[in-house]
Structure 1
Amino acid sequence: MIKANKDNFLKESGKALEEIYEMLQSLKSISLEELQKERTVLIMVDLINGFTREGALKSPRVERILPSAAKLQSACLLKGFPILAFADSHSMTSPEFASYPPHCLTGTSEEEIAEELQQVGGYQLIRKNSTNGFLEEAFSRWLKENDRIDTFLIVGDCTDICIQQFAETLKTWFNKENKESRIIVPMDLVETYELGMHNGNLVHVMALYNMTINGVEVVQSVEVQ
């Protein structure tokens, strides 16, 4: 239970949100050119039909970032960066459906990568059966086999769920291993959905804030030539 007077809570929270908003607005962009080919990977999270164009969790907010995500994907491909694409893929018995409506069922078009990204290509597909792609065995193998990679450029959705969980878990894993890392999340290339109490703008901002205070490098954008 919230141990605070409602009016005081809303007043204090409003002030904090204003400070968080202004802090995020003050963050800088980075250039793709500053990232080293042998140390950098692009991670595209759940930019699939089931979160963009069809199904119970489709969102026009997420769909809007597809063209810019494809542009960054093309630039990374030209620079020779490896690219991983996570895609939700569930059976009807998934325990996750106790928290979310059924979505991205295995064998349906919902689990497929969005057409814009398919056209660019050049990615390794990793299907995932939870919100946190870090837990997938295929990613663990990739991480072990590519131990020179320490810079992760993460785009996709949802900011407050799959993006935040993956980025923070990845950062804390590197911390546990006593290894320096850059876990980069560009604000203009992550999004979340709007549904009932799940206010898209609010949870998006709070997720970005939580990532910044946990060592994730949140930036305005990644500039490409």
Structure 2
Amino acid sequence: MVVPSEQFLSRANLFMQSIVDWEQQLADLKWQDLAGMAQAGRMAVFSIDMINGFCHKGALSSPRVEGIIPAVVDVFQHAHAAGVREFILAQDAHTPESIEFTQFPPHCQIGTEEAENIPELAGLPFANLYQIIPKNSLNAFQGTALDGWLKKQTELQAVIVVGDCTDLCVYQTAMHLKLYANAYNLPLRVIVPANAVQTYDTPVATAQELGIYAHDGDVMHLFFLHHMSLNGIEVVRAIK
């Protein structure tokens, strides 16, 4: 067993402090600066897993994720007001035999209330614009129609990504979009407002008691925001 040295732990603490400092300096983005792209039909909003099973009920529902609902709704409303008409909602819709259930408790199965849109989004007056993308993977582009959709968006200039979880499905989606743009030298802005994404929390003591992996929500949220920024994704505090 490799035991981290004091030097390693000291470096790790310095590194984490640098990420905390980075987060504290995040700036807001203004809707008025995005209006031109929105009005020209060159912007899309991706909502990841904002469904009942992660917000309101079920084994993986989390008060942390539920807490971002107002910010997500705000993004939807302001985006629509700015002229956005592409709303992509990638959502877990697992089959009972999903392999993912060996890693996480059964959740958000096809045809259940857990797999449905949260009412806060479903009730918006422009919900008819939503393109629902059922997914059986953390990566919304695996086994779905999204790759085909993306290849057709030759005029797309910006994508705003909101939802959960910061270090899982949000990360996979934002990185896929950014790496696709990099591969084809496309000037696509991938924007993640930090106030409209979140992840779950499993404290070390709880994990030890249950015999599962610990997952510090604050650390993982912050670390993966930083990692997305490191890869050229625009992480902002909020869009106002």
- Alignment of 1:14 onto 2:13: yes
Deviation at 1:144, TM superposition (A): 2.3
Deviation at 1:115, TM superposition (A): 0.4
- 1:116 is aligned, of 114, 117, 120, to 120
Deviation at 1:3, TM superposition (A): 6.8
Deviation at 1:80, TM superposition (A): 2.3
1:164-222 deviation per Cα after TM superposition (whole angstroms, max 9, x unaligned): 11111211111111112111001000000112311100110111111111111100100
Match of 2:195 in 1: 188
Match of 1:34 in 2: 33
- Alignment of 1:94 onto 2:98: yes
- Alignment of 1:198 onto 2:198: no
SS at 1:12's partner residue?
helix
Match of 2:108 in 1: 104
- 1:165 is aligned, of 169, 172, 192, to 172
TM superposition outliers: structure 1 runs of 4+ over 6 Å = none
Q: What is the distance in 2 between the residues matched to 1:186 and 1:29?
A: 8
Q: What is the distance in 1 between the residues matched to 2:150 and 2:74?
A: 25
Match of 1:23 in 2: 22
Match of 1:45 in 2: 48
Contact 1:183-1:217 within 8 A present in 2 as well:
yes
Q: What is the distance in 2 between the residues matched to 1:213 and 1:72?
A: 24
1:117-174 deviation per Cα after TM superposition (whole angstroms, max 9, x unaligned): 0011232111111001122432122212322112110000000000111111211111
SS at 1:86's partner residue?
strand
Structure 1 pair 28–135 and aligned structure 2 pair: CA distance change class (3 A): same
User: RMSD of the alignment, in Å?
Assistant: 1.4
Aligned residues: 222
1:85-128 deviation per Cα after TM superposition (whole angstroms, max 9, x unaligned): 11101011111112111111111001111000001123211111
Deviation at 1:2, TM superposition (A): 5.1
Long gaps (5+) in structure 2: 208-213
1:34-93 deviation per Cα after TM superposition (whole angstroms, max 9, x unaligned): 111122111111000010011111000000111221122112122221111111010111
Long gaps (5+) in structure 1: none
Contact 2:53-2:61 within 8 A present in 1 as well:
yes
Deviation at 1:31, TM superposition (A): 0.9
Q: What is the distance in 2 between the residues matched to 1:93 and 1:135?
A: 17
What residue identity is the alignment partner of 2:8? F
Q: What is the distance in 1 between the residues matched to 2:152 and 2:231?
A: 26
What residue identity is the alignment partner of 2:19? I
Q: What is the distance in 2 between the residues matched to 1:113 and 1:95?
A: 23
- 1:179 is aligned, of 174, 183, 186, to 186
What residue identity is the alignment partner of 2:225? L
Q: What is the distance in 2 between the residues matched to 1:183 and 1:61?
A: 23
Q: What is the distance in 1 between the residues matched to 2:163 and 2:231?
A: 19
What residue identity is the alignment partner of 2:123? Q
Match of 2:227 in 1: 210
Q: What is the distance in 2 between the residues matched to 1:215 and 1:161?
A: 18
